[in-house]
Structure 1
């Protein structure tokens, strides 16, 4: 749900909502009220209205930015990966592998933009990205499309029905390293999925159902089960699955015939990419909701912005994801406009506003907050 949609659902402001920051109002909730603090936050309609009205003129996805960024990131990533495979110097190979991971990480995260993009916004971009990035990396766009939108749902966000939410701050301390390190296993798991499980599913329907429900979505909620695709989306899934399976089988055949070293290096590079994304996921939200439905303002305050001057944040949270809280206010805003959106809203709403309460200085302070939350649960 976007800021504009939230205003349309409940156009009348709550009493005093426009005047006081949301977190300040939470303290006035009567003792004995059940649920987490998120469940008690009403909408800050001044913020929602500003987000909807001040950013309309920069809401168009610009192909002159999207295409060169995606193509350049993919080209640099693949070139560096080829160098890591071909060079004989181990230090140079490691350096090239690190660079390849960062470049391919940026190229892969355009899947997030594709998920929110209007189908007519950038003709051919979804196809081009899948052909050049999604299928070669075995993460086609269908793994996010139709899934990520549920994370933005007013009724689903932060609940057990949200495929992308776990109350990590309320879990045990060991859960954080386990959560981050399991991402390293994602690339070999994707290779097995596309090369073996998907083809076998053609002749074993129960396996096909299992793979679709449990291993066909970029989700972190273990309770999530994906619904069967329908219509045009099902046809798109078929072609993307076919491309991934043919590519995965070809990679395994080539590795068996000519040696496993290139594949091992490639899997190592992509594992690092997956680990980077998992660390970013750890700090995309505060992860403090206990399962209640939340207002859009509460969702915003449970999410994270790392605005300038955080110079390293574009590396670990590229393609606009450093403004993840702002993204929850304006899900369809193209990534290249988020910095300007943030500037306008900060200037309009002021330093004491609800809007500023979702801003944090960087990755390490956010990780520290998350760790402290889990330590208090021992």
Structure 2
């Protein structure tokens, strides 16, 4: 093997990543998407409120049944219903980050009172964070709070990614029930809590800026509400025993795991820090459109159209199915748009798992090829010396 061949392997990988990030923009697809924005940008309050409130009522009814019923099959059934319904209700936090001011009066307040505070996921944890993920120059870079090159990481990173989500209820109780009151008493701790523990993000390097103006006031009352809930949950053990708290935590944990699995297949996670074109960002994202219905369960409130959402971030969730059909009709089955459509969760999980295994094999192969002849000779010499001794 020549010196050129030895040194070129990492550079070829880097060139591949750069080429993937710099996919030329598809002007026809972007122009068609712009037309969808003009046609479908109005949110329907009746749909939002009915969907959200219905999901919340069903979810809390299921939670109550799981707590008070004695039949194990009924408890499991109620728990499953509660998990799926509360998962759908909580997913409206994504819509809150994109709703134009004044489009849905009272919805942010209602969502936080009914779901955000009770589940300890107030909207300030996502608002101001998720929009950075959509910023043209941030997506997929080190400055993106919602991106990691998961497909290029070690295989054990995927199960760890899910296991961490299962511990979310414990982390949230500690965040709001312990760190919030302590940070009020000790101001230096407040900075740490704000920077490191105040965002629903997956990038461990992300730090949160201090809120300002009206958003700061929203942050404070939302955090106070979540703090009261966390303290009440801990206190409930003394009043009602362990069952209500453990049931709540089990349902919350299952809900968060499903969302983490959805997150795992929301993108291909193949970018490693390069700034990407809009088309490259689309192709790194995922749609799971009909005819299958199961995606509406694990990716509710428009999240099954995640790639389309990256083209149309201001279009409300209830309009995305119509926009998708028009995009398909306008662009055809062999278009760039069609390349962002996938069949379901399991094929996507398999794809990212294979990618991590391939990344490990490529890394091992590159390491073997980049070991210099001198290093190999030294190793052989040391082995021979040991044998001779």
TM-score normalized with structure 1 length = 0.90
Match of 1:110 among 92, 100, 108: 92
Partner residue in 2 for 1:89:
71
Partner residue in 1 for 2:54:
72
Q: Secondary structure at the match of 2:21?
A: helix
Does 1:359 pair with 2:341? yes
Mapped partners of 1:215, 1:309: distance in 2: 39
Match of 2:249 among 260, 267, 273: 267
Match of 2:147 among 146, 165, 179: 165
Does 1:220 pair with 2:202? yes
Partner residue in 2 for 1:187:
169
Partner residue in 1 for 2:326:
344
Mapped partners of 1:291, 1:50: distance in 2: 28
Structure 1 gap ranges (5+)? 1-29
Mapped partners of 1:205, 1:61: distance in 2: 41
Partner residue in 2 for 1:4:
none
Q: Secondary structure at the match of 1:189?
A: helix
> How many pairs were matched up?
349
Q: Secondary structure at the match of 2:359?
A: coil
Give the drift of 1:367.
0.6
Superposed, 1:1-378 pairs within 5 Å as 33=15, 35-378=17-360
Superposed CA RMSD: 1.4
Q: Which moved more, 1:237-246 or 1:74-83?
A: 237-246
Give the drift of 1:252.
1.7
- 1:92-125 CA distances to partner (integer Å, 9 max, x unpaired)? 1111111111100000000000010011110000
Give the drift of 1:57.
2.2
Q: Secondary structure at the match of 2:167?
A: helix
CA contact (8 A) 2:140 2:148 kept: yes
CA contact (8 A) 2:236 2:245 kept: no
Partner residue in 2 for 1:26:
none
Q: Secondary structure at the match of 2:210?
A: coil
Mapped partners of 2:138, 2:173: distance in 1: 31
Closer/same/farther in 2, CA of residues 304 and 261 from structure 1, 3 Å limit:
same
Q: Secondary structure at the match of 2:200?
A: coil
Q: Secondary structure at the match of 1:376?
A: helix
Kindly indicate which of the two structures has a greater share of residues assigned to helix.
Answer: 2
Mapped partners of 2:83, 2:298: distance in 1: 11
* Superposed structure 1 runs of 4+ greater than 4 Å apart: 30-34
Give the drift of 1:206.
1.7
CA contact (8 A) 2:267 2:285 kept: yes
Give the drift of 1:55.
4.4
Mapped partners of 1:322, 1:186: distance in 2: 23
TM-score normalized with structure 2 length = 0.88
Highest Rg: 1 or 2? Answer: 2
Give the drift of 1:32.
8.8
Mapped partners of 2:176, 2:92: distance in 1: 21
- 1:197-216 CA distances to partner (integer Å, 9 max, x unpaired)? 10110011121111111111
Partner residue in 2 for 1:9:
none
Q: Secondary structure at the match of 1:291?
A: coil
Structure 2 gap ranges (5+)? 1-11, 361-389
Q: Secondary structure at the match of 1:292?
A: coil
